[in-house]
Structure 1
Amino acid sequence: MTTFDASRLVGELEVTFDVDVLVGAYPDRDGPPGTPRSVLDTLAAHRIRTGAVASLRAALFDMRSGNDEVLALATSDDTGTTPDRDPAFVPAGTTPRRDPAVVPGGAASGRDPAVVPVGTVDLRDPIGAVQEIDRLAELGVKAVRLFPDEQGVEAGFPSVRHVARKAAGLGLVMLTGGDVRRFWQAFSGLDATVVFLDTHFYHLGDFLVVAADEPGFHTSTRLLNSPDALETVPADRLLYGSRTPHYEPVVPLLRLATSGLKPDEIAAVAGRNARRLLG
């Protein structure tokens, strides 16, 4: 049996910005440990230059310490150590140190950062979530990520709209999981910039309908794997996402590389759109 070699089809495609990267592990399922070093190595192995990185610890256990872990990772020159042993790691309640070469918003001086930190909030604690959003905004973070499925939160829960209104009011980009057919409503009418990370190609028509009235609505490419899915969405609304290390990055890479998009559109999806939003 001949082994399928995806690399030949992916070719020279380079992703300059992946909008869906996680550090940490799910305690209730098998999977990679998601250590910072292993995650960044996986990105590099697939020629993904920069990742918008969020913390599963912040999503599942503790917002503040998990977010501080990601902030420390973004400002550390050494990502080879685990956060609890990294001298750059900052415990909850303290302020991460700043490195002039890499700042939380993702701006770089002299080099392109491998990590752009994304804050995570817990929708089960809406009061604490908006307080954490204020803290993150003061630290220069430009995006917050929502994990409704992992936190058992439904689209109609008041916490979702409460958090969305707060983040939109501060001009933060929101990266959200969940079924776009239900969760779009929490973000509508807020002049919000939202990237729906779990848009499935079966639900693409619903995304296109709601996005037509919401110029800030965007979608990740991760689950848009049907033959014409990427080509159906306006290229300026598509952002490459892999969910490294908890999804196989070759799949969205292969789909983008073999799509019918023009080279300039591929470059936009592969990073330029994310830079525009998270710059």
Structure 2
Amino acid sequence: MTIKEGAGMAFDAWGLIGGLEVTLDVDVLVGAYPDRDGPDGTPGSVGALLTAHRIRAGAVASLRAALFDVRTGNDEVLTLARPSGDATEGATGGVPGRVPGEVPAGPGWAPVGVVDLRDPLGGGRELDRLAEAGVRAVRLFPDEQGVEAGFPSVRQVARRAAALGLAVLTGGDVRRFWQPFAGLGATVVFLDTHFYHLGDFLVAAAEEPGFHTSTRLLNSPDALETVAAEVGAERLLYGSRAPHYEPLVPLLRLATGGLKPDEVAAVAGGNARRLLS
């Protein structure tokens, strides 16, 4: 095949993904960032995006809670996750083979609470309220809230979440944000683990059985396989950060990598369901 012939060929991403479906995406947001261009993040549009990428359910947190108002943002997510909520009302899907204009069945939602790390006293009270409401996970936004890993508020939230049995989904550089959770027996998913920093995650995870990572930024040729070999595929969770990042890239990496079929199924939702049940 000549270069000219190859240049005219379309890249068939869905052909490579094959029949892979994600049963629970651990990194989904509703809402928008007011200071940057991007999607509106309405529940309907996010639900349609997930459905279009064969993602059956999302662990969803509110940007409103992270940036503006913790309580009303968290209540929005709790309402969304109730069975009566329809995340894709009025939205159309993009799943290959779907009839144009057909309204897709919406994804399921697993509610994830948010605390404001800038409010150390209120953060503990909100964790108690969320736990009483049946929420199984809390999400931290240290970058958006301008909080460092060494701040007392982070350690306080880490301890309280561990005591309540809540899984923690946290942003931030894993090389720093592993520290507040060390020695607590906490269940933590590091959402921003970059493949450049994978070695640091693996060193920390070897000592902390509750440490897990999202696959979103693990796009090097052997990142997923290295995690599986070093600490086990049960430490990997598919995450897309829909709608603010592209779900297709981590889907492709998971579908075309070297993990065994049972490991792929675990990463594609089985591990997340275990942690959030």
Query: What secondary structure sits across from 1:54 in the alignment?
Result: strand
Equivalent residues of 2:55, 2:107 under 8 A apart: no
**Seq. identity, %:** 78
Deviation above 4 Å: which 4+ runs of structure 1? none
Corresponding residue of 2:182: 188
Where do 1:43-192 residues align within 5 Å? 43-75=50-82, 76-80=84-88, 114-192=108-186
Q: Which runs of 5+ in 2 are unaligned?
A: 1-7, 91-105
The Cα offsets for residues 89-115 of structure 1, whole Å up to 9 and x where unpaired, read as xxxxxxxxxxxxxxxxxxxxxxx9610
DSSP-derived class of the 2:207 partner: coil
Structure 2 match to 1:274? 272
1:13 corresponds to 2:7: no
Q: Secondary structure at the match of 2:39?
A: coil
Cα deviation per residue 1:61-93 (whole Å; 9 max; x = unaligned)?
A: 0100000000000113333469xxxxxxxxxxx
Q: CA deviation at 1:5?
A: 2.2
Letter in 2 for 1:124: R
- Name stretches of at least 5 consecutive residues in structure 1 with no aligned partner: 83-111
Change (3 A) 1:169 1:74: same
**For residues 77 and 62 of structure 1, what CA distance do their matches in structure 2 show?**
21
Q: Which amino acid aligns with 2:151?
A: F
- For residue 143 of structure 1, report the CA deviation from its aligned partner: 0.2
Show the 5 A alignment for 1:195-206: 195-206=189-200
2:101 paired residue number: none
Residue-pair matches, total = 251
> Given residue 197 of structure 2, which amino acid in structure 1 is its aligned partner?
H
Farther-moved stretch of structure 1 (35-44 vs 69-78): 69-78
Distance 2:207 2:260 in 1: 25
2:242 to 238, 241, 244: 244
1:3 to partner: Cα distance? 3.5
Q: Report the counterpart of residue 101 of structure 1 in structure 2.
A: none
Q: Please list the CA deviations of residues 107-156 of structure 1 after superposition, one character each: whole Å capped at 9, or x if unmatched.
A: xxxxx961000000110111111100000000000000000001010111
Instruction: Work out the CA distance in 2 between the residues paired with 1:50 and 1:138.
Output: 23
Change (3 A) 1:80 1:18: closer
Distance (Å, rounded) in 2 between the aligned partners of 1:13 and 1:238: 16
Is contact 2:51–2:107 with CA below 8 Å preserved after alignment? no
Moved more, 168-177 or 2-11: 2-11
Classify the secondary structure of the residue corresponding to 1:212: helix
**What residue is the counterpart of 1:212 in the other structure?**
206
Shift of 1:54: 0.2
User: What is the match of residue 41 of structure 1?
Assistant: 48
Name the CA distance, whole Å, in 2 between partners of 1:202 and 1:274: 24
TM-score of the aligned structures, taking structure 1 as reference length = 0.88
Matched residues in 1 for 2:235 and 2:86: separation? 34
Letter paired with 1:208: L
TM-score by length of 2: 0.88
Partner of 1:97: none
AA aligned opposite 1:196: F
Deviation at 1:241, TM superposition (A): 0.3
Structure 2 distance, partners of 1:266, 1:174, is 23
Kept in 1, the 8 Å contact 2:87–2:107? The answer is: no
